[in-house]
Amino acid sequence: MAKAIVITLGFEEKYAIRALMKRGLERGDSIVIITGPVVEKTRKAIEHLRDFLKYFEDASLSIHEIDEVYDFATSVRRIRKLLMNLHNSFDNIIINLSGGMRALIIETLIAILLL
């Protein structure tokens, strides 16, 4: 059964790769990256993550940039909507909050609790 793996991402992809290796990837899995405003370091981390995922068949990667990280209510609303869409599409959702801006991690946690 395919699962969705939601990961908050900052400037380093090692936490995301560690989470993916720990959980394992299967055919049809979806990796959802939630990140703050994308800067050069974030772009490099995303590219390294894409290079890593080339070794896995049918694993899809989607990037969701939360531009308004400093607007708490708007960010939580956008992340909650994203998680609701995933909940409607997947039976199993794994969420990893180990990387990225602290504000983004807290907003993602609050969005999860509001579900």
pLDDT at position 95 is 94
Residue-by-residue pLDDT tens, the chain, 115 positions: 688 999 999 899 998 999 888 888 888 889 999 999 999 999 999 999 999 988 887 888 999 999 988 999 999 999 999 999 999 989 899 999 988 899 999 999 999 999 8
pTM for the whole thing? 0.90
pLDDT at position 57 is 77
pLDDT at position 63 is 95
Q: CA separation (Å) from 86 to 48, 89, 90?
A: 24, 5, 6
- Residue 54 and residue 61: Cα distance in Å, rounded? 10
